Amino acid sequence: MADQDDPQGQSRPTEPSDLKPAPRSGRCHWCGYSLKGLADRGNCPECGTSYAPETAARLQPWPSASKICVRLGWPIAGLMLAGFIGINEGGLLMGLIIGYAMIVAVGFNSYFQVRSMLRRSLPEGIRTQGPVAIWRKIGTTVCVIILLVFVGGPFVFGVGCLILLSNFKWSN
């Protein structure tokens, strides 16, 4: 007990677990190297990036598989619901409206959910370089195409129809 109160005892090896609460995940924000057991501040032994408690706490573990399914899957569930409503007597229009809204939601939701999960859990150096960066571009492209087809498409079609109609009236 006496030596626990020793004011000079800071360099003395301490119990690793409970004296100083480690940063929540304790990883290098650039490369993801675990900083557990290292000093509060310093340079990452793996990539040399300097870290502090704030940056070490930035990366959080991935959400559980079920949470990822809920985050990404609710528009799909909504689509199934729309189909279910649509096949019922008199529900076709409502089903189509909900179905359309859910397809648009797939594009928006996937884009923002994936982006926030990557920011939260993937080290910067991995997120911005190499294969992950390529996959992010592919994913973004897919989301943009979905939105272009289902939002931009009908819009252009609608505007086109209006122009054609107004031209038609003009020529008469």
Residues of the chain by 3-state class (helix, strand, coil), percent to 5: 65, 5, 35
Q: What are the φ and ψ backbone dihedral angles of 27, each rounded to 5 degrees?
A: -130, 155
Nearer to Zn ion, 45 or 154 (CB): 45
List the one residue from 33, 103, 109, 124 that touches Zn ion (CB under 5 A). 33
Whole-number minimum distance, CB 47 to Zn ion, in Å? 3
> Are the C-beta atoms of residues 32 and 127 closer than 8 Å to each other?
no
How far is 90 from 151, CA to CA, in rounded Å? Answer: 25
List the one residue from 23, 27, 44, 79 that touches Zn ion (CB under 5 A). 44
Whole-number minimum distance, CB 10 to Zn ion, in Å? 26
List the one residue out of 107, 120, 96 whose CA is nearest residue 147.
Answer: 107
**Planar angle of CA 51, 46, 117, nearest 5 degrees:** 65
Half-sphere exposure of residue 93: CA atoms within 13 angstroms, side-chain side: 1
**Contact between 122 and Zn ion (CB under 5 A)?**
no
List the one residue from 25, 46, 72, 140 that touches Zn ion (CB under 5 A). 46
- Distances, alpha carbon 130 to alpha carbons 40, 114, 123, 134, 137, in Å: 30, 17, 13, 7, 11
List the one residue from 28, 82, 106, 118 that touches Zn ion (CB under 5 A). 28
Whole-number minimum distance, CB 126 to Zn ion, in Å? 10
Site for Zn ion in 70-99 (CB under 5 A): none
Nearer to Zn ion, 32 or 95 (CB): 32
List the one residue from 22, 31, 104, 142 that touches Zn ion (CB under 5 A). 31
Nearer to Zn ion, 55 or 109 (CB): 55
Nearer to Zn ion, 75 or 123 (CB): 123
Chain residues binding Zn ion by CB under 5 A are 28, 30-31, 33, 44, 46-47, 49
